[in-house]
Chain A
Amino acid sequence: MEKEEHLQRMEKAIIEGDRDQAQALAKEAVEKKMDLIEVIEKGYVPGIQIVGEMWEKGEYFLPELITSAECMKAAMGVLQPELEKAQISTKSKAKVVIGTVEGDIHDIGKNLVSSMLSANGFEVFDLGADVKLEKFVEMAVEKDADFICLSALLTTTMLGQKRVVEILKEKNLEGRIKVMVGGAPVNQKWADDIGADGYAENAMAAVKIAQRLIRG
């Protein structure tokens, strides 16, 4: 198979949500000693970008987005260890610490955001649900993260998002580590009121906003 054809099939596998194919093509690329960075950037990444565009046009829905993100993860699961073995570092867009705030054990929405960010090239550190508020900041400092993403599904727990912004201010980390918030009771006004840098209504919006914030 020619290189161009191989890359196109990778793109297609992501668009069509064919996990087995995405993984098989990644293995083949490793066996053929292809340039794995090129494989990611010209094969898989364009696929996930097209999926995002199709979602924006209303041609794809959340399940298709997730399927494609899972394909991306499967392919990266093959490629990443090879890159590490060869000590080649991939260009991560930014580092993100994500979790559902203390007192709240909802995690499906947070998992979707985590998965979509990861599929779109962000390095994600997922702390899970019911996460102590200080833990977000500690982990962000430890990993030198660019963002903290906070999910809250209750009016009682959304106050935790406010507290994390306050902790960042107290530690003079405001601006250096950006905060994105989301969850059923959360909206743009809440994000503005508490001084968060972004509000994401859904997983794809989170990707867009994160990309926008990186560009500054």
Chain B
Amino acid sequence: MGVTVSAKVIKDFKVEFDERRILGLIGYKKKQVTIKEPVSKLISEEKKKLASLLQPAAVYTIIDYRQTNKHPIFDHAQKVALCICTIGQKLEKEVQSLTQKNELLRALILDALGSEAAEEVAIQSDKILAEKAREMNLWPSKRFSPGYGKWDITQQRFIFGILPGQEIGVSLRESCMMVPRKSISFRINFYKEKKFTTRIQR
């Protein structure tokens, strides 16, 4: 840990997405389900609040394989992009305030919108980093986050040991949970050979 790297911050995200993306997160099982009142009205109302509650930001760096902790998930990578993104704390505070006012459904909807917004920031960051790989004539992998597959959640400590999360207001708790909660950390391996990646290349 403690590798000195130059990290870059991105803040100019345009976070837009179809509100139907939250339906699964708020408990609807069928994608084509018709949303009845008052739920559809609440979704629209909370979506309108979204823009004023988002503080999207990402911090990333690209390191050489030798700067990693040599975890097997980095095998064959020439370089590795590490990224932390967030939508900030404002939305969480509003969710908390709604919960305290017993507006549980609004809280659930806004929380789900926040999750999708964070996902959107991660999607856009991922695209930027994949492009960086291509500029280096390397093949980017898909993005992977700690806690999924063979990359244990405790590997968050590796990411935060390298990346200054505090530059975008994100910190890591002892339990490996990020604060603000609506934050996503991930890595993309950059390979010399295409055969190591399953990412659909453009």
Contact = CB atoms under 8 A, between A and B. Distances in A.
B63 interface: no
B26 A156 contact: no
Interface in B27-81: 27-29, 33, 35-36, 38-39, 42
A177 to B, nearest CB: 25
A85 B5 CA distance: 66
B202 interface: no
Given A70-B105, A108-B95, A154 B176 contact: yes
Contacts of A108: 95, 107-108, 111
Contacts of B102: 70, 73
Contact of B104 (A61, A104, A112): A112
B150 interface: no
B192 interface: no
B201 interface: no
A69 B153 contact: no
B147 A155 contact: yes
B15 interface: no
Contacts of B33: 61
Nearest to B36: A64
B174 interface: yes
Nearest to B156: A156
Contacts of B111: 108
A62 B88 CA distance: 27
A53 B95 CA distance: 29
B39 A67 contact: yes
Contact of B108 (A66, A105, A155, A156): A66
A99 to B, nearest CB: 14
A61 B27 contact: yes
A115 B105 CA distance: 11
A106 B181 contact: yes
B137 interface: no
20 contacts: A61-B33, A62-B28, A63-B26, A63-B27, A63-B35, A63-B39, A63-B108, A64-B39, A66-B105, A67-B38, A69-B104, A70-B103, A70-B104, A73-B102, A103-B177, A105-B181, A107-B99, A108-B108, A154-B147, A155-B147
Nearest first, the 6 closest Cβ-Cβ pairs linking A and B are: A62-B27, A103-B175, A63-B39, A66-B105, A156-B175, A61-B28
